[in-house]
A and B are shown apart, each in its own frame.
Chain A
């Protein structure tokens, strides 16, 4: 097998992605291992290796001596072709063993456009893609990650899903398997036991009925061990949660090629479009000492020269200044760059800017998301124009000259005035640059506007909202371009068809399983790559399966409609989402968690800093 793989490597791009052997990768003696887990990231190595969740769960599972977790990625099309031509099944990078030899095959579902890759990877491993066709106990195909908050479009392909945070439940599941395995249980017997674990959802244990109008009528458990509602898992003591003491360090450069330490989980903000802001609640932090130790440990083990503090909004860390002071002391001494992604405009202090600058100066990126204050209130992005301007002024005086602004088109309550607001805001930033004294400012102002089409997501206050139709979006894009007059402003937008597909899959039900299957059969894989995305094939698939994209994407859903994910409990209450949706339509904002609890439904016991 290894020989066969090696002879193909030189015929492919960046071969080191397909052979493993990186520093930090974990090799175990198979004879001393009794549970084998293949952790699959359904995209190429360069993307998957950047994913923090995989690093955490890889380290966690391997910390148990008799469990062995290995990595698997989707090959690029060139290598997939070579593998198929030479009968090489998809294999894991550590042992180079095919996936059929594993007990668990676990996929992390990070974005909708990776769904066809799941099917492609199973098939490339010679494993039936549909759960009902996999009769044996192993491999057990499981899924986790944010998309699992509505896994219904993938229900046919998985044996079970893991809801919420994986650090505890993954080991519980593996332990259960380890205990049951000697008795040779059937798959059904194992799944029945697994369903008792909090956070485990076995889709085949639930029946879905539909109304005549196509909406879901009811979702009910058909198995005594499967609870009516499945609750997501939360790590209550986040400071004590497992964190790896090492990463696998890739040879080839990947998207995020640096050490990463997670400083907080959850977000206090409650921006109404943002799924992460709701499904990762509550807001929990690690202590400064914990973070310091983890930074030092990861940097020493990997040899990286850059460390990034990861979270949904790092500047919301309660003691951000003390934290940075502590860290800069270490990183300066070791000549390590400290990078802080996800900073918010409103609490971006001069002091903070100074700290980042002393390390490295790149461009600044802001996400006002909407062009006018009214619309920012609608989406609860509580950032004012003044704040944007103050921060940009500081940035320009500090020598920055590259500003990126992110916006969304097609938000609820959006008018053409809001679109003009985007152009105006960008123009104001350009003007501000020219008002900055010449000796202070950097050279060559460039403001880039990047617009994405709004995709309504489950478990957000906008889960009821229709997505703007392609016609509306095209009109708005054109209007935006017409409103921009300066050559210093560059404007780009996402492919429209991608957003439609995301909208359909994000809020879809089990009837989409056939569509995904058909699209994959027609050759759709690596859909998140522009060069591979084939919307024409997707359209054919929708047509053949008799599924109307508008039903899923462009229809307003009533507050009492049974959502395809209504049997899943992500703790944020339905009442709260309805309340927030109504406030959105009145352009009323909601305070953030730090300012006071708004009663989203997440219980105090879950360990949130500001809960209750």
Chain B
């Protein structure tokens, strides 16, 4: 016998309605881990009385899917949450009702029907602001020097191969570096998704060790999620 009763408000093969939500995760909410975010969202739907479709397997659970994880501590303006409901609702209504129930720092911008598949996610754009042991101008120059290196090797851990060296240089794309309000600001596009994913912390870690930088404060924001052709993932 299952640990969980068969959900009573749905029979088998119930109609599901799929939605793709775009939301922001900023401020205090940036410290919610990926696992905790799942719970947080599920509870927000419950509070908003928006009925989620449950998976129909042996152990039914609410169908919520985050196609691309966000590193702990990173802000984002364009996170994606896929959800299936058992009711068809107006996009605006979903947005309004959820936002009334969200904790500080989580905000739904938009609801729509999903267009792309999860597997199409290939790139993400980030804005990284930081101050460090050298002046912002100096840090800007060092970063420019950093991305012009022939090779940037980092250690990457994987379950199969253990620790091995990977050259991330060819993966760092479309870089711009500026100085704003006494901070160095980097805009960068990195591979994302299930095929190959590169975190900003890996890039910044390599930058710090190769260019002798010690970071004091750092704020990272994800600004775009894109498909292979550089078009927005929708």
Contact = CB atoms under 8 A, between A and B. Distances in A.
A303 B4 contact: no
B42 A303 contact: yes
Nearest to A302: B43
A361 B72 contact: no
A303 B31 contact: no
A21 B104 contact: yes
Contacts of A190: none
B8 A333 contact: yes
Contacts of A332: 8
A361 B5 CA distance: 10
Contacts of A10: 72-73
Contact of B3 (A335, A358, A361): A361
B28 A19 contact: yes
Contacts of B72: 10, 15
Contact of A305 (B29, B32, B46, B102): B46
B8 A249 contact: no
Contacts, number: 78
A303 B33 contact: no
B47 A303 contact: yes
Interface string B1-12: 101110111000
A310 to B, nearest CB: 20
A9 B39 contact: no
B68 interface: no
Given A21-B28, A304-B43, 10 more contacts: A10-B73, A16-B31, A20-B28, A23-B43, A23-B101, A249-B40, A251-B103, A303-B43, A358-B5, A399-B1
A359 interface: yes
A301 interface: yes
A9 B217 CA distance: 12
B3 A249 contact: no
Given A21-B27, A22-B103, A335-B7, A249 B43 contact: yes
A478 interface: no
Contacts of B218: 7
Give the size category of A's interface with B.
20 to 34
B45 interface: yes
B177 to A, nearest CB: 22
B204 to A, nearest CB: 12
Interface centre among A19, A249, A335 (most CB of B within 10 A): A335
A360 interface: yes
Contacts of A7: 216-218
Interface in A287-324: 300-305
Contacts of A3: 217
B31 A360 contact: no
Contacts of A359: 5
A359 B5 CA distance: 6
Contacts of A305: 42, 46
Contacts of A14: 33
20 contacts: A10-B73, A14-B33, A15-B72, A16-B32, A16-B36, A19-B28, A22-B103, A23-B47, A23-B101, A249-B43, A251-B103, A302-B43, A303-B42, A304-B46, A332-B8, A333-B9, A335-B7, A335-B8, A360-B3, A361-B3
B132 interface: no
A15 B71 CA distance: 13
Contacts of B3: 360-362
Contact of A303 (B5, B36, B46): B46
Given A10-B72, A332-B8, A335-B7, A23 B31 contact: no
Contacts of A333: 8-9
B97 to A, nearest CB: 13
A300 B45 CA distance: 11
